[in-house]
């Protein structure tokens, strides 16, 4: 009996150890001080409000809840555990400014690692390790270095402009009418399908008719182009050359037939397709897999994801070995100042305790491969979409660009109207809609200050035990049924409490940006509402790149490559919009779908995957495009 009893006890011990996260969740469900905050009703005990917020980028449910429950409230996660969500500027500044006390939750770190960021890269490193890595990498993202990369940005942007111009000129006019039939004969627009599509769609849907092929309730005389797929190629080439001194040849070189639908794609593009180019819908399994890792092997794309990660690791190792074997003085790109050169040079000159290990270097490469082109491609795509929906703003920007000398790109990049257009697009269409933090500071408790007091809901039986406390403070209380409401000027957090930072909601909040907060209006940046200056953002009073104005001691998790991204976006807009007009059919409904990065899908054809079908027209040099806006 003794061996059997020992075996049973061992099984119980292993089970209890494996279920530790679940026990902590159950404990927080009943003991967390967050449970006293106002919250929307939970439709499910198992997944709480998670199903509702899975489409938050389209239904703005956070904004709807904020109107009902205030700037600071909770929603329910797995087994109804409370999660804090706040749009309060002071609370956001505190949480983001104390980044090392508020790291990303483990499940979010795991998701980033699976997406290619690695487990030792800048996105996932913590504390002193993160501080050391960021200090080394800051050298590669200085303003002077970013300026030295602009010729690479320009080369790829002009190459893409030439491709789009050739497409607009070469393809015959296509007139479509209200029908559900595929255009007869070979459709010239089929060559514009996403170059990543064969790698990311199952065989049953790869050849399915797309909105670029189908006459779908509109009349047009210009071809539609999936600009997302082309921008993904272009930004991949840029991060290859500017980041690692390596060309992925994702864009077809000049003189080649880029209209070939069978042009082979690189294996790295295949890997990114497996990771990013599949739409994920909400499922209970995806929630359970967060807390029970063994369930991840049952996900539909589990094997493809593993193969993609292996491909990225292998290519990253190859890049490191090639760069190490080449003399640093003979760098072909960027004057030996690309990201990988900085990493290798840092290892050669730093003390052993400061140098990056091989695995850290590899994680940085995969991190910047992912963050350096997927987010930027998404941002440029959404900017072109916003301008396609606002033809007057597009014409004004084109007029401002044409007022500059064509060869003087640097003057065009300094145009106020271009800056305002980028700010407005990144405000409305942040590539990342929200993020999460978890309290993990040295103290077991934390009190987050609030600019706007929040109503805390205490049961009436707490009145006697807490009356003395309230009498000592200048607070007002209000009884409402079985609950006693009173304002609090801070939020009490305990270890493990999760905080959601709703980037999109803050960027579009009507109480900050005015009643037209959901509209694309670049001219709003000439006279901003005073309220937006309280938003603790790194760039343009928005949370798109986050910040919180943290110091080096409390942590800085702001986007290290934001200058890189802004310069790249501006160069592409300046090169493309000067000669091309982008439009979209009125009845084509674009929705957002998030898989780390927010990307577009056509609402009527979600099975096609991510795409942004815009129509192109070459604008003749002598065409009057309208007077520049007053802010140009």
Helix axes 391-402, 562-577, angle to 10 degrees: 90
Residue pointed to by tokens 């309230």: 470
The alpha carbons of the chain give a radius of gyration, in whole angstroms, of: 26
pLDDT for 243 equals 87
Q: For residue 305, is it within any domain?
A: yes
Q: For residue 120, is it within any domain?
A: no
The CATH number linked to 217 is: 1.10.630.10
pLDDT for 364 equals 86
pLDDT for 82 equals 94
Is the C-alpha dihedral spanning 75, 81, 84, 85 positive or negative?
A: negative
Count of Cβ atoms closer than 10 Å to residue 18 Cβ: 12
pLDDT for 304 equals 76
Domain of residue 268 covers: 140-434+556-618
Q: For residue 442, is it within any domain?
A: no
Q: For residue 127, is it within any domain?
A: no
Q: For residue 334, is it within any domain?
A: yes
- The DSSP bridge partners found for residue 494 are 445
User: With contact defined as beta carbons under 8 Å apart, do 234 and 605 qualify?
Assistant: no
- Strand, helix or coil at 14? helix
Say how far apart CA 630 and CA 621 lie, in whole Å. Answer: 22
Q: Which two tokens stand for residue 545?
A: 């790149």
State the total domains in the chain. Answer: 1
- Please name the residues in contact with 552: beta carbons below 8 A apart, sequence gap of 6 or more: 131
Say how far apart CA 250 and CA 246 lie, in whole Å. Answer: 11
Half-sphere exposure of 286 (CA within 13 A, CB side): 12
Q: For residue 27, is it within any domain?
A: no
Question: Which DSSP string do the residues of 143-192 spell out, in sequence order?
Answer: HHHHHHHHHHHHHHHHHHHHHHHHHHHHSPP----EEEEEPSS--GGGGG
Q: Which two tokens stand for residue 241?
A: 């050359």
Read off the pLDDT of residues 289-322 as tens digits, 9 standing for 90 and up: 766 666 666 666 667 777 888 888 888 888 888 8
Q: For residue 307, is it within any domain?
A: yes
Count of Cβ atoms closer than 10 Å to residue 185 Cβ: 6
pLDDT for 98 equals 93
Q: Which parts of the chain register pLDDT below 50? A: 174-220, 260-262, 278-279, 329-335, 461, 464, 466-477, 630, 632
Q: Are strands 445-459 and 178-182 parallel, antiparallel or unpaired?
A: unpaired
Say how far apart CA 292 and CA 15 lie, in whole Å. Answer: 12
Read off the pLDDT of residues 19-76 as tens digits, 9 standing for 90 and up: 666 666 667 667 788 988 999 999 998 889 998 998 877 778 999 999 999 999 999 9
Read off the pLDDT of residues 608-631 as tens digits, 9 standing for 90 and up: 889 999 999 999 988 865 555 545
Question: Which DSSP string do the residues of 542-586 spell out, in sequence order?
Answer: EEEEEETT--TTT---S-TTHHHHHHHHHHHHHHHHTTEEEE--T
Read off the pLDDT of residues 559-599 as tens digits, 9 standing for 90 and up: 999 999 999 999 999 999 999 999 999 999 999 998 788 99
Q: For residue 40, is it within any domain?
A: no
């Amino acid at each position: 009996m003794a061996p059997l009893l020992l075996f049973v006890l061992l099984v119980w011990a292993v089970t209890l150890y494996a279920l530790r996260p679940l026990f902590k969740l159950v404990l927080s469900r009943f003991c967390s001080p967050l449970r006293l905050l106002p919250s929307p009703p939970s439709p499910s005990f198992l997944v709480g409000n998670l199903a509702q917020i899975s489409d938050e980028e389209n239904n703005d449910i956070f904004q709807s809840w904020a109107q009902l429950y205030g700037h600071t409230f909770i929603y329910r996660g797995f087994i109804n555990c409370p999660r804090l969500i706040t749009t309060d500027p002071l609370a956001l500044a505190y949480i983001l400014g104390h980044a090392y006390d508020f790291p990303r939750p483990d499940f979010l770190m795991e998701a980033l690692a699976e997406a290619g960021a690695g487990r030792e890269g800048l996105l996932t490193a913590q504390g002193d390790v993160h501080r050391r890595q960021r200090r080394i990498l800051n050298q590669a993202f200085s303003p002077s270095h970013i300026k030295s990369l602009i010729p690479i940005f320009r080369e790829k942007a002009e190459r893409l402009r030439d491709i789009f111009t050739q497409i607009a000129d070469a393809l015959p006019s296509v007139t479509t009418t209200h029908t559900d039939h595929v255009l007869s004969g070979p459709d010239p627009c089929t060559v514009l399908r996403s170059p990543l599509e064969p790698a990311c769609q199952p065989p049953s849907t790869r050849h399915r008719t797309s909105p670029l092929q189908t006459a779908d309730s509109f009349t047009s005389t210009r071809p539609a182009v999936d600009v997302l797929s082309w921008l993904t190629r272009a930004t991949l080439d840029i991060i290859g050359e500017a980041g690692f001194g390596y060309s992925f040849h994702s864009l077809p070189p000049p003189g080649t037939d880029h209209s070939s639908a069978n042009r082979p794609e690189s294996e790295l593009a295949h890997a990114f397709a497996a990771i990013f180019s599949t739409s994920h819908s909400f499922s209970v399994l995806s929630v359970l897999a967060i807390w029970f890792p063994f369930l991840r092997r049952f996900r539909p794309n589990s094997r493809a994801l593993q193969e993609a990660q292996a491909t990225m690791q292998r290519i990253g190792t190859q890049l490191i070995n090639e760069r190490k074997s080449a003399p640093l003085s003979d760098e072909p790109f960027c004057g030996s100042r690309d990201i990988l050169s900085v990493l290798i040079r840092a290892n050669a000159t730093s003390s052993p305790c400061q140098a990056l290990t091989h695995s850290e270097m590899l994680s940085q490469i995969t991190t910047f491969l992912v963050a350096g082109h997927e987010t930027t491609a998404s941002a440029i795509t959404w900017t072109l979409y916003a301008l396609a929906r606002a033809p007057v703003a597009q014409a004004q920007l084109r007029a401002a660009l044409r007022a500059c000398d064509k060869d003087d790109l640097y003057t065009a990049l300094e145009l106020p109207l271009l800056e305002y257009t980028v700010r407005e697009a990144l405000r409305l269409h942040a590539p990342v809609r929200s993020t999460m933090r978890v309290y993990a500071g040295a103290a077991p408790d934390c009190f987050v200050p609030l600019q706007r007091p929040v109503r805390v809901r205490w049961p009436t039986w707490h009145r006697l035990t807490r009356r003395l406390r309230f009498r000592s403070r200048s607070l007002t209380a209000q009884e409402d049924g079985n609950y006693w409401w009173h304002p609090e000027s801070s939020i009490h957090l305990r270890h493990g409490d999760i905080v959601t930072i709703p980037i999109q909601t803050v960027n579009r909040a009507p109480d900050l940006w005015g009643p037209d907060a959901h509209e694309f209006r670049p001219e709003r940046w000439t006279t901003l509402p005073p309220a937006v200056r309280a938003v603790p953002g790194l760039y343009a009073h928005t949370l798109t790149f986050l910040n919180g104005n943290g110091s080096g001691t409390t942590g800085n998790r702001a986007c290290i490559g934001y200058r890189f991204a802004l310069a790249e976006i501006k160069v592409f807009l300046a090169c493309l919009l000067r000669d091309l007009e982008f439009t979209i059919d009125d009845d084509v409904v674009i929705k957002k779908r998030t898989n780390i990065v927010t990307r577009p899908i056509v609402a009527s054809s979600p099975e096609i995957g991510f795409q942004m079908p815009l129509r192109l027209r070459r604008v003749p040099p002598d065409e009057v495009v309208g007077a520049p806006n007053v802010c140009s």
